[in-house]
Amino acid sequence: MRVKMHDETTRLVRRDGEESNVGFRSYEGVDNYYNLGDKQQHEDAEENEDRSNRYKNLALIALTTPGVKFFKSAQSSFQEYLMTDRELQMSATTYGVLLTLISMPIVPLLGGALLDYKRGGDGHHHRHHPHASGTNHRNGSLVEDGSDDSDDESQHDIVSSLRTITTAPSGTALDTDQKASQSNAYCGFLGLTLAGIVVYGFGLEKMHSIPIGLLGAFVFGVGEGCVMVAARAFVGHEFWGGDGAFAQGVLIAMNNLAMMASKNIVPWLIETRRQESILAGEDNADADHSSIRVGILACCVVQLVALGAGCLYAQRNGGFCAKPRRERAHGHHRHHPGRWERPLPEGGETDDDECGGHYFRKNALASGRQTLHANKAPSRCERSSFSSMAALVNLPLTFWIVAIGRAIFLVTFKVFSRYSNSFLIEEFDVNAVKAGRISSVNELFALFSPLVGFLAYRSPGGIVGFALLGAVLGTASIGSLAFVPASVVTNHLPGGPLTPLVGISIAHGIIIPISIAMIPHTVPATQLGMAFAVFEVLGSTLNMTDIVFGWLRDTSGNYDIPMQLLFGYALAGMLLLWISRKRIGSIGILGNEGGVR
């Protein structure tokens, strides 16, 4: 074994008379002795510190997204008050436009382009973890832009070989620059959503102006789409190859918790404030109308907390007051090259860092190990906002399979959830209170998404098998409601309609976090922002199924045909996952294989 120290090459030998202690014999140019045990302990300590930092970042990111979900969920509470406001005179059509502006399907592409701008994704994929032989290491060229290898075995060989090498460590100047710029942009997105909420409330509540309210909804929609894309991309970078489904599940659980809190807190605040105004005899008190001002203030407070968490995240990752490049390169982000790590040139940067696309070839080392050597591209690549948008058409096929599968199941579960109260009342003859209580299980099981993600990597079939299990369960549950008579479901299933609803809720809690966790494995790190943007857009676009579902219900007079439509969706999604299971599995996240830290 040969090691390099002070530009001199030294042999590793055993000291005379000290058989239990192995170190470096002092030669010319080498003045220090190193104990290998101390070095291993140092590396273990750095690994523990790195793991701790990842989970601290996850906690902060998880606190940034509930604000936008809280406000979006509050719209269902605001609807009644806005449409009964005599000064606003808002119609159902105008309210529909308001909801559309709050969730504009194309806006996430802007967030993805901004995140990928100036090699925004490169830095994170160079994160170094000492366990090179047991941990998946992300490389910018893991999936070549626009390429799709039809031979799954060859693709798997590439992924397996790439696990044994790393390129640039976390903490280099390049890595810190990118994380700093991205976290600063993230705070900007959060601030934009807060500004949108303020304009929305000022326009509708203070000025009673629908155009200003729509402007606020538009501003919020731009920020909200970028916030969700950035949060998922950040978590995808932090947890690539290990417990990514758990981390994405934490985001989902926090979002659902915020939505449940909004549905319960906002109406209570509005009604309590109205009663207090009436009892106090205030001039603006009206028994027939309630002001949504206190609800808007609650949304602003929650979003302020989210913005504060975003600022703390940015501060932890070099944002705001950035240090000089040399200080960041040699500062508190210590790095010691691992055994199979390629040494960095002076300054901590490599030519490869400038370009997300590399070309690889296999070579046999003298020790018999297989590794990949990166050949520098013919010319240096400079990413711009245009190249980030152009990456949209070059996303790999595996990404599209996972994204479309997730969108199909997401729309299936969400559409059923929105119509579940009416469905239970009409088909199973339950009252409104009981229907609401039964249908509430849709949000309840999403709170267990982190546990689902944690178990998915450790299940015998791996994360892909876990996703297939959820797909089968969801399809069977939808099918039981679509084709089995209500009387049979009530009399022969424990809990009646509650059983298939629980199945749908569990399937939702399995498929959504796992599919989100798969995305970082299907694209190069330079395209991760755009990948999550497309991910969001697909789900939003298919939400037009709401209109089709309602039209079929009005046309047929019952829920038979609409439920059969949802069953067709679920069946298509399940077949897509089943047919593509080998391709998805080839991205290297099966079972415990190097993914769990």
For residue range 134-156, list pLDDT tens digits in order: 344 433 333 333 334 433 443 33
pLDDT (tens digit, 9 = 90+) per residue, 232-268?
Answer: 878 877 776 556 667 777 888 888 888 878 877 888 8
pLDDT (tens digit, 9 = 90+) per residue, 315-357?
Answer: 888 766 555 444 444 444 444 443 333 344 334 444 444 343 3
Q: Could you tell me the sign of the dihedral formed by the alpha carbons of 91, 92, 97, 101, in that order?
A: positive
Nearest to 595 by CA among 458, 398, 452, 461: 458
pTM of the model: 0.59
Question: 356: which strand partners?
Answer: none
SS3 566: helix
pLDDT (tens digit, 9 = 90+) per residue, 434-476?
Answer: 776 677 677 677 777 777 767 766 666 667 887 888 899 999 9
- What is d(CA 27, CA 24) in angstroms, rounded to the nearest whole number? 9
Ranges of CATH 1.20.1250.20 domains, the chain = 53-117+177-320, 392-587
* Model confidence band, residue 310 (pLDDT cutoffs 50, 70, 90): very high
Q: How high is the pLDDT of residue 147?
A: 38
- What is d(CA 150, CA 358) in angstroms, rounded to the nearest whole number? 19
Per the structure block, which two tokens stand in for 553? 């219900």
Report whether pLDDT(164) > 60. Answer: no
Q: How high is the pLDDT of residue 453?
A: 67
- H helices of 281-324, in order, are 293-316
| Residue pair 501/237 in contact by the 8 Å Cβ criterion | no
Output 528 or 306, whichever has higher pLDDT: 306
Query: To 10 degrees, what angle do helices 432-439 and 397-428 make?
Result: 160
Q: How high is the pLDDT of residue 263?
A: 75
Instruction: Indicate the average pLDDT of the chain.
Output: 69
Q: How high is the pLDDT of residue 471?
A: 92
Domain 392-587 -> CATH class: mainly alpha
Pick from 14-23, 46-55, 202-211: least confident: 14-23
Residue 471 CA, chain-centre distance (Å), reads: 20
* Model confidence band, residue 109 (pLDDT cutoffs 50, 70, 90): low
pLDDT (tens digit, 9 = 90+) per residue, 186-212?
Answer: 899 899 999 999 999 999 988 888 999
| Residue pair 84/204 in contact by the 8 Å Cβ criterion | no
| Residue pair 182/430 in contact by the 8 Å Cβ criterion | no
Q: How high is the pLDDT of residue 402?
A: 85
- What is d(CA 229, CA 64) in angstroms, rounded to the nearest whole number? 12
- The Cβ-side half-sphere exposure at 197, using a 13 Å CA radius, reads 30
What average pLDDT does range 158-162 have in this prediction? 32
Output 533 or 167, whichever has higher pLDDT: 533
CATH of 53-117+177-320, one of 3.90.330.10, 3.30.420.40, 1.20.1560.10, 1.20.1250.20: 1.20.1250.20
373 backbone dihedrals φ, ψ, rounded to 5° = -110, 130
Dihedral angle, C-alpha 214, 219, 225, 229, nearest 10 °: -170
Per the structure block, which two tokens stand in for 73? 């969920």
